[in-house]
Structure 1
Amino acid sequence: MKKIDGGVTAPKGFKAAGLYAGIKKGGKKDMAMVYSEVPCRAAGVFTTNVVKAAPVKWDHEVVYESEFAQAVVVNSGVANACTGIEGYNCCKEMAAEAGKVLGVPGDAVLVASTGVIGAQLPMDIIGSGIGKLAPLLGSSREDAHLAAEAIMTTDTKPKEVAFETVLGGKTVTVAGMCKGSGMIHPNMATMLCFVMTDAAISHDMLQKALSDDVEDTFNMISVDGDTSTNDSVLLMANGLAGNKEITEADEDYREFCAVLHEVMTELSKKIAGDGEGATCLFEVKVLGADTKENAKILAKSVVTSSLTKAAIYGHDANWGRILCALGYSGVKFDPEKVDIWFESAAGKLKIVENGVSTGYSEEEATKILSEEAVTAIADMKMGSAGATAWGCDLTYDYVKINADYRS
């Protein structure tokens, strides 16, 4: 497989558009559309929050009940969450309007919303935006970029990635875009993500690939400990690559899963590194755990520790906070066997061996912790299982952003 410069228009047959419709203040793009020239198999994973936004309910029905999906319409600025039956009817209206202008059934249109919870969608603006998006649909790199920009809220940058591989002698592309910066915490998807592929694959295998992969990607990121009402990952496959349809867990399926994993991992890291107010991506690797599940619990405990996140912001090698977070995770281990390292582009430094300080250089540790991406590695010395979690540092700006979010 190889990484290519691309977004959701990289796979064959997909078009995209993004524009300013008038939902947000200040003229920032706020609506996007992705369309496939042919019907797609669709898969999805959704928030585990009991409070589910209307688009989550609509998309669940499309993924599991509709014959196919062919388009996605996204708005940013208003989440359409906690909006009752009116909010659900807005989803239905959005899908119907998009279906009308695209010439596809309304129940083949997925919808997504992100932004302020509790407000009803301005359907006059939404309807007008859909009408403007359809004729702008294109397959260029710029078209994909405009769509990725239009789904942002407090994100500081658009998040896109694309990979190619070969399945059965045919070039297959998997590409995605996502948004997420705050209200990010492991418990399924933790943001909005849209992945497109031209692979030919059955619905069951597509859903299995997606559901399995989120456990090691989007379920392993955290910014602030809050699981959104709107979390959704949608995966659409139109089959235009021409490979033999994947219907079982064979070699082609494993290769497809490997490419999907690369796309999902990169998007996960882009979200974690762009956490609200963040100055760096904070990665936590746990090695030597007794089970994979315990490795995940340990890694998540460290990456979500507010004290550890604050220390990372201060470039302070306060390893006691890491050991403490491991200790309250609920996993049983011997603290007098744990080794800890810090690593970044500036180098790698062992700071703890068998539960005590190595007498490391604070100056060298600060240098390593001053990079844009920092990794903490913990070897538990219990077994051979491991896991990786991603988060970010905790800064003053996180509070500022969320104190002023609605105003």
Structure 2
Amino acid sequence: MGETVTLIATAAMGLEAIVAQEIKDLGYDEVQVENGRVVFTADVSAIPRANLWLRTADRVKLLVGRFHAYSFDELFEQTKAYPWEHYIPEDGEFPVVGKSHKSKLYSVPDCQSIVKKAIVERLKQKHGVSSWLKETGAFFRTEVAIHKDEVLLTLDTSGTGLHKRGYRVGQGEAPLKETLAAALVKITNWRADKPFVDPFCGSGTIAIEAALIGQNIAPGFNREFASEAWPFIPLNVWDDAFMEIEEKANYDQPLDITGSDIDARMIEISEANAKEAGLGDLIKWKQMQVRDLNPKQANGYLVSNPPYGERVGDVPEVEASYQDLGTIMGDHPSWSVYILTSHEGFEQHYGQKATKKRKLFNGFIKTDYYQYFGKKES
């Protein structure tokens, strides 16, 4: 058992509970859900495991300090009191970023400067350095976040955001973040032995995330993380984490996943993205209009992020596609349908009120996730 750390998995608004459940599924029980984040305490091995396995979190941050500060002197002294030398080596590079909301210390540049100075003084003292710190080594993105005078000091263990899976070689005009696509799948109770369709697949993100979930492939298998170079995390901890994702992947799990789109170019992009994800021919891709959708099996799942009609000229076409989809799925009552859209008249055009709705954000766009539960056929 290694040292205990407190980690923060950041999450888009509305997805905190999904992220919390993922963390619990990894075996970590000390979980606290807050707005936009999930805080949990675990062994240091949770750093690589959380980065590799969390599908719906944006980042994993190491919590160094949490306190209240009402003056710059308090911010400096309390920041300096934490054991930064345990995490950041003598040559570590640690730029400080910041944000402040509803706090007395509202000047973000000043807060960043003070935190930087406090850490520098602490590191010089503890590492026995009298001159400038070189900052030529491993990268430690440091953040000071202040909300209602409460200060959070964190180190970003992820580096690039976790939505950057490494498989997206092409995308459309308004690509869905991989983390949100994974959440759309996880909110359903789809299992790998059931048919899965996305009739507005765009660059294929939802179908690809479903395939990764279906075969239990860790979403971070194809990328690197900033904390891989951190000296205080033993190398064997990362080796064990990578070995675990390989052992738990079920590459032999058959899948019936189809992505379709009216745009032939998007089908080509989807195929390229799936190939980059190592899924090859595992997903079927088709160029077709939604009105040509014709499910052949029962008890399937349709999960999609169709056009919203954001541009006025697109509205009639978008509403017609909603109507076509509702007509088709009305003839397949055993199918469960999940649609993400900002169009407030979706249910009217689809022709049926949703069994359940969930408010989510697609970037900065407020959306509803309309959920229609199928009546299972034996």
TM above 0.5, yes or no, is: no
| TM-score for the superposition, normalised by structure 1 | 0.24
Determine which structure has more spread, i.e. the larger CA radius of gyration.
2
Relative CO higher for 1 or 2, CA cutoff 8 Å, sep ≥ 6? 1
The structure in which a higher percent of residues are strand is 1
| TM-score for the superposition, normalised by structure 2 | 0.25
